[in-house]
Amino acid sequence: MWWMVIVWVAAMAISYAMMPKQQSTIKPAGLGDFNVPTAEEGREVPVLFGTRDLKGPNVVWYGDLKTKAVKKKGGKK
C-alpha cells in the first residue's frame, strides 16, 4: 500500500517538473494597440468618395464615451 503512495508522489513531482513554463514577456494590450476613431484638434478629417476602410480615422464627433462597471450577482437565480 505504501509503495502506491510513493509512486503517486513521484509521478506528481515528475509531472510538475515537466510542466511548460509560462512566459513573462507577454504584456497587456494598451490603448495604442487599438485603431479607434479619435477626435483630436489639428488632425485632418478625411473626405473619401466611395467605399474605403479607414484605420483609426479622425472624426469631428463620435459620441459620449462612457464606461460602466459590469455588476452581476453570483450563482443564484
Task: Determine contact, residues 48/36, Cβ cutoff 8 Å.
Answer: no
Quick one: pLDDT at residue 14? Answer: 93
Quick one: pLDDT at residue 77? Answer: 57
pLDDT above 90 (res 13) = yes
How many CB atoms neighbour CB 6 within 10 A?
Answer: 9
Quick one: pLDDT at residue 75? Answer: 62
Question: Measured between alpha carbons, how far is 12 from 66 in angstroms, rounded to an integer?
Answer: 49
> What is this structure's pTM?
0.30
Average pLDDT rounded to a whole number, residues 23-30 = 73
